[in-house]
Amino acid sequence: MKLKLDLHVHTSRSSDAFTSPERLSTICRDRGLDGLAITDHNVLARDVDDELVILPGIEISTRDGHLIGLGISEAIPRGLSADETIRKIRDQNGVSIIPHPYDLYRSSVRPHLLTVRPDAIEVINSSSFLHSVTWKRARKFAERENFPMTAGSDSHIPQTIGRAYTEIECGSRDAGSILASLVSGAVSPVGRSVRANERFRKMFYRKGERA
């Protein structure tokens, strides 16, 4: 089966995000998504939903930039090196993804500097600035080094969830099967950038209630 999963979504558990976890089911149905990975900043999400595929995830602030861990059972502390963080994800049989690897304006790991190999590279991040440059560089690196390539919206507001997603060919909707397919490279990244007005909308949410 083929599943469409947004592998980079923030909820109101992140201090800079404004989507209530309770709204995720409705949003995914409306956007044609089978599910997503909740990757709140330094907070492990292990939500369960009867309708959605929700992958347990976290976006960790390493000394070298942000790093996503999926399929882990315990939060990993911030402030470690990216290499050590990947090792700790691996110790939990989790999957490590380098998000927005070459973004100029966000804390981004440079994968060519790593000594420990991650499991995948995010080559489409809807929230990237200068995405025509950064996406191309990320894809070029992933193709050259034979990494599985993922996509995610990096959404912090409800309106942008699903703007990018990863198509995953897998045998079942079980998280273990999905993550095994991701690591094996049975994935296709799909998506586009957020619009300028949506970047401003996030600023508006800072002054109002969480959605």
Q: Which two tokens stand for residue 62?
A: 């390493």
CATH of the domain at 148: 3.20.20.140
pLDDT per position as a tens digit, 35-83: 999 999 999 998 888 889 999 999 999 999 999 999 999 999 999 999 9
- The residue-averaged pLDDT of 5-18 equals 94
Q: Is residue 101 part of a domain?
A: yes
- Inform me whether the pLDDT recorded for 197 exceeds 90: no
Q: Is residue 71 part of a domain?
A: yes
Task: Please answer whether residues 52 and 32 qualify as being in contact, where contact means their C-beta atoms are separated by less than 8 angstroms.
Answer: no
Q: Is residue 121 part of a domain?
A: yes
The proportion of the chain whose per-residue pLDDT surpasses 90, expressed as a percent, equals: 83
Q: Is residue 210 part of a domain?
A: no
- The residue-averaged pLDDT of 143-148 equals 98
Please report the pLDDT score of residue 129 as a whole number: 85
Alpha carbons 114 and 107: distance in angstroms, whole number = 15
- Helix, strand or coil for residue 154? coil
- The residue-averaged pLDDT of 117-137 equals 94
Q: Which domain holds residue 193?
A: 2-205
Beta strand segments in 76-148, E: 95-98, 120-125
- Closest by CA position to 3, among listed 173, 184, 192, 124: 173
Q: Which two tokens stand for residue 30?
A: 């409306």
Q: Is residue 211 part of a domain?
A: no
- Inform me whether the pLDDT recorded for 157 exceeds 50: yes
What is the rounded (10 degree) CA torsion for 164, 168, 174, 176?
A: -100
For residue 149, which phi and psi values (nearest 5 degrees)? Answer: -115, 130
Q: How many domains does the chain have?
A: 1
pLDDT per position as a tens digit, 86-107: 999 999 999 999 999 999 888 8
Q: Is residue 134 part of a domain?
A: yes
